A and B are shown apart, each in its own frame.
Chain A
Amino acid sequence: MPHDEEQFDTLPETIVDALRGLDGPAVLPDAERDADVLSGARLHLATRPPNRKRRNLKLFIGGSVGGGLAAAAMLGVAFILSDPNADEGLPMADLAEQNTLPTLAEEAPNSQSLTAARGDIDGSGSIDILDAYALARRLEQGQAGELDLNNDGQTNQRDIDWIANQVVALNSGEQG
């Protein structure tokens, strides 16, 4: 664009007048007119039907943010659960040991099963209904001792049920 000082002299008079008017004092609405405009706007907004597109946009944005948070949370949980021993530094063997209770066979001096799983009352090396039966007979004789399998602080019928429900669970891996 060429620099021509005379180009500004060719502006239409209307524009020149309008530009000159900008230098004058500002014209502000009085308080009464301001209040009228404000109340009119409020009335308009109150009676206007909901803008579906705007609501959908809000939902889309909200869903996106929520989905992002959910994904981040799931990733965080997966990361935390992926290394459960990190805090305590326990090897898996120690954790497995924590999940066992002494069996009746272990209590007996002639026990041959010292690594039986939790609920292996008869020390057979596996958990089946015979363990529930053994615990039931021990309870009947008042010799159940400290065999609180379901961690409710007591040794009672619920511990028998705990064993029995373990052995019939379809996700127990038993295939016969």
Chain B
Amino acid sequence: MFRNNYDNDSVTFSPQGRIFQVEYAQEAVKQGSVVVGVVSKTHAVLAAIKRNAEELSSYQKKVIAIDSHYGIALAGLASDARVLSNFMKQQSLASRLTYGRAIALSEITARIADRAQTNTQQYGRRPYGVGLLVAGVDAKGPHLFEFQPSGVTQEMVACGIGARSQMARTYLERHLESFENSSREELVKHALRALKESLSQDKELTVENTSIGVSGVDENFALYEGQDIAEWLDATFENREGGGDDEGGDSMETDS
């Protein structure tokens, strides 16, 4: 069960200079379903695969709107993400109320990073078991930030985290040059294609299991799910046969 003597808490270094609890937390991120983020000069897009725990249950929430100018996509423990997103909502609202200013994405990312870092340096705490992509538009234009349980944050042009996300990242790396000047629609397509790459052979993107969040310059962050994304799916995967027809009647109608 235990790998060694140095993984009982997040305040102890191993002799190799590693903090195992933080690394385990990063494993939790890898087990979450994949989420992808891309930015152009004008837009920031998040796309995610939703999972349902069982046939009868609803799908897990993967993309959360935080403020009118940005949202997050999560991979890992959803409950940790909920705590973080509540904190982000509070901080964003506080900025709007006290200064009448939309909080900068770099600022809100730094604030959750500080919280995550504290968890890696205090006894009796555990790191967040969730990775986030923070995407939106602030006074300095569109941004995408990656947040990890270790408290590391980075600004990205495109990013994918979660299960099998390496395939998505490979797609994004191959098309890196085309993102900057992409239109809104093209950017959504890139995000969906990257998402598709990381799916196992027998899985498809459907209106049920896909979430898309879009924000742009002079355009509020909006979450698209269900029938609202049917057209995007059709346009992105034209040659596919009857998009997800094994999933039920809903997606059949979208092909007509």
Are A and B associated in one complex? no
Residues of A participating in the B interface, judged by any CB pair closer than 8 Å:
none
Residues of B participating in the A interface, judged by any CB pair closer than 8 Å:
none
